[in-house]
Structure 1
């Protein structure tokens, strides 16, 4: 029998609820699954603001359910915090399930707890573990309730966690895909402008990069394009007022659809470059970094995916630009204008955040995410244009130039 060279990977291995008020199904889920001991992992700012109160009310009303609260969530989840604080709490409580309510950092913290499970292993022991290879111990199931329309972590099997040296690394495994995800746009209503802008830009970048990734297939492209349609229309009015039901719902769906694609097709060079941008000397929010890098990456990739960029541009603008009339610079300009409108990175240039073409550039290039100097870094990603170390150096320099033009 001839070897099959290409095959589609698609499907959704979880139960999803999306729409206003869908958080109300939580007690039904717990009863159906027999989960009686819940570890609530919650964003501390949201807890202080009272956003978590409706979730606690549902837990308290649920029959035979007990819960504990863990809210020491770092903006970039740390393996050491998970291992020394969150895991011991889960073990002592004998949790049946993790309920993560918050943004990507909260859900990724839950994923770090989940993958270690009932063992005394270290989180980073599972870095590089094949995504479909069984984990030889019990892991914790997760119910994810996102409070931003950004990371898509609730519907993908990836987690970004800092190792003990402070480097952001990616865990990827089927076992940390949340068993349930409740995407309730009502939780988005109180997002401050900078957070709404940064997380929405992250979702937009996921949609665009997963669409142009060489691993994309019919399933992922369908969701990527629909995400681009929804986000392209909703992103500006949503950031201006996340309490408007229409825009919140569109962004919630757009983020989810981009997350489907991200989990299968993966991302692009933008997300590689943004890893060191969350560390010294920048400490830039991830979504802001995505927006800052994106114009340079689109310009670079244009040689390899011009037609896909045309379709993406038509999806986000609702235009019908023909192949002969489209120029990649049109998409570059659209992204640059979006950065200005959303005040991405606080309207500051890369240099304002601490970048220079000397020692800081070299510090970025030493990040473990650039893991092979002789080949395309992060080889699990298939970029539309081959991008080696010298090319990433060029892209970082170009990002700096774009960031100055946009201010």
Structure 2
């Protein structure tokens, strides 16, 4: 039942909440506004609106627009250099989880010397505590999936194909603006990828041995919202009720990672997309999910929790653990993502050994969440079962 709660972020939630940014206590005078290398924030008006809000608050800004999906250490280093050169004293992260994750790493590296990996606690990281406080962060998510606006870590990939968390309690955003209106232009397939990412954050924690009273409350609510509203959001992006509930589910799943934990499914996906950067994180999780959760169902370590999850996503008469896979597959089909194939992204079975080794080496903490030990051979078997 034990848990630790520390959620220092001021959160503004709801349609139109970005309009209130200028009324908040802004944590600096010059912002590095971090966006993706795509066009969405520029074409849908969210960047202009954010810059207008900052200007109204008498804040200067510099835009850094090079963050890609699955952000890399090289891009983070470039962002930190630009922040230093321009005298930026806080970060505004405007975009999906990749932008917010990259912003956290940029915030840490801007105010601390050395290599970013000096401050990474696993894999080949230097396991050092950053001596100086990171720059403050304002997180403005434009997708509903990662919940990065609610946690103190960002996932970055280095040149060794290590996709790892850069974490520090000082990296909780100072302010999070969760405005579902910014999410209505997200295309259907990415809405689905992101929604399942939010779901798996909570599902993984729910079947792990770090589950507790707080994580159960948060996770169950998140999964119930995904089960009820994700299909609607995928089929009609302008359905603001569905967008609001999915933004709420994403936010809660970010909190779940603070009061609970993700598990080795995330480790397996990080290794997958570390070698194939064009795989969206949520898509990778979807491709692995049925094989991964079937592995744990066959262990019979928490059958009643799988039954509960099936009920949460719409299978009210679920009575056995295997029903969860049926309910999960039904939701995937409804959202149009049941036919994703690793082979479409260039993945080949010969890679599974090195991916399994990578997953275990880089993210051992997620493996420790399981009720029983998961070996390298188990990981390879899951990759094989998930592969098409």
- After superposition, where does 1:337-348 map in structure 2 within 5 Å? 337-344=330-337, 347-348=339-340
The answer to whether structure 1 residue 231 and structure 2 residue 242 are counterparts is no
Does the 8 Å contact 1:158/1:263 carry over to 2?
Answer: no
- 2:382 is aligned with 1:395: yes
Which residue does 2:343 correspond to in 1?
A: 351
Map of 1:110 onto structure 2:
103
What is the deviation of 1:340?
2.7
Q: Which residue does 1:65 correspond to in 2? A: 59
Deviation at 1:352, TM superposition (A): 3.9
1:277-324 alpha-carbon deviations (Å, 9 max, x no partner): 214357311101111111112111121111111122222216254xxx
Q: What RMSD, in angstroms, separates the aligned Cα atoms of the two structures?
A: 2.3
Does the 8 Å CA contact 1:144/1:181 hold for their aligned counterparts? yes
Paired residues for 1:155-174 under 5 Å: 155-174=150-169
8 Å Cα contact 1:103/1:146 also seen in 2: yes
Which secondary structure does the structure 1 equivalent of 2:322 belong to?
helix
Deviations 1:57-105 (A, max 9, x none): 212222x31111111111111111211x211111122222101000011
Number of matched residues?
381
Maintained 8 Å contact 1:268/1:383: yes
CA separation of 1:377/1:391 partners in 2, compared to 1, >3 Å: closer, same or farther? Answer: farther
Higher relative contact order (CA 8 A, sep 6+): 2
CA contact (8 A) 1:266 1:381 kept: no
Q: Find the counterpart in structure 1 of residue 361 from structure 2.
A: 371
Deviates more, 1:284-293 or 1:336-345: 336-345
- In the TM superposition, what are the counterparts of 1:1-400 in structure 2 within 5 Å? 7-29=2-24, 32-33=25-26, 35-44=28-37, 45-49=39-43, 50-62=45-57, 64-83=58-77, 85-128=78-121, 135-281=130-276, 283-302=278-297, 303-317=300-314, 319=316, 321=318, 326-344=319-337, 347-357=339-349, 359-367=350-358, 369-371=359-361, 377-378=364-365, 381-400=368-387
Residue 351 of structure 1: how far off its partner (Å): 3.4
Superposed displacement of residue 180, structure 1: 1.2
Q: Residue 103 and residue 381 in structure 1: after superposition, are their counterparts in 2 closer, same or farther (change >3 A)?
A: farther
Unaligned runs of 5+ in 2: none
Q: Deviations over 1:13-45 (max 9, x none)?
A: 21111111111221122xx24521111112242
Q: Distance in 1 between matches of 2:153 and 2:29?
A: 26
Following TM superposition, by how much is the alpha carbon of 1:385 offset from its aligned partner in structure 2, in angstroms? 3.7
Query: Which deviates more from structure 2 when the two are superposed, residues 203-212 or residues 102-111?
Result: 203-212
> C-alpha separation between the residues in 1 aligned to 2:366 and 2:101?
22
Separation in structure 1 between the aligned mates of residue 367 and residue 343 of structure 2, nearest angstrom: 30
> 2:284 and 2:133 mapped to 1: Cα distance?
36
Deviations 1:143-162 (A, max 9, x none): 10101001111101221101
**Structure 2 length normalisation: TM-score?**
0.91
Q: How far apart, CA to CA, are the structure 2 residues paired with 1:146 and 1:47?
A: 11
Structure 1 residues not aligned, in runs of 5+: 1-5
Q: Please report how far the alpha carbon of residue 133 of structure 1 lies from its aligned counterpart in structure 2 after TM superposition.
A: 8.8
